[in-house]
Amino acid sequence: MNVTSEHRADVHEHEEKEKYLIFGYTPTCGTCKVSERMLDIANEILKLPITKIDLNFHPDFSQAQEIQSVPVLMLMSKGKEQKRIYAFQSVPYLLENLK
């Protein structure tokens, strides 16, 4: 399959920001869909810049970041990872961990 730029998100788009999120998922992952909904609800409150990436199109990123499973949420600051969440648990849990 040919990976076109429309399938590839720019993982560096918010790199200069103090705080932003990278959400990694795969389309076939059911847990990812549930987690994304929780994240969207939490982020309505937090209003953080977010990049959502289909990890099928970012094997280089997955490898470089040593991503173990999906979904994955990375709390970033100026290009550096601050925290990583694999188990989203609940909206309050996300809010607590992302503020």
Residues 50-72 have a mean pLDDT of 95
Nearest Cα to Cα of residue 73 among 46, 52, 57: 52
pLDDT, tens digit, 9 for 90 and up, residues 88-98 = 999 999 999 99
Residue 1 in this model has a pLDDT that exceeds 80? no
Residue 23 pairs in a beta bridge with 52, 73
Domain 18-96: what homologous superfamily?
A: Glutaredoxin (3.40.30.10)
- Please, what is the average pLDDT of the chain? 91
Asked if residues 73 and 39 have their Cβ atoms less than 8 Å apart, the reply is: yes
- Residue 58 has a pLDDT of 93
Q: Where are the domains of the chain?
A: 18-96
Q: What is the pTM of this model?
A: 0.90
- Residue 4 has a pLDDT of 45
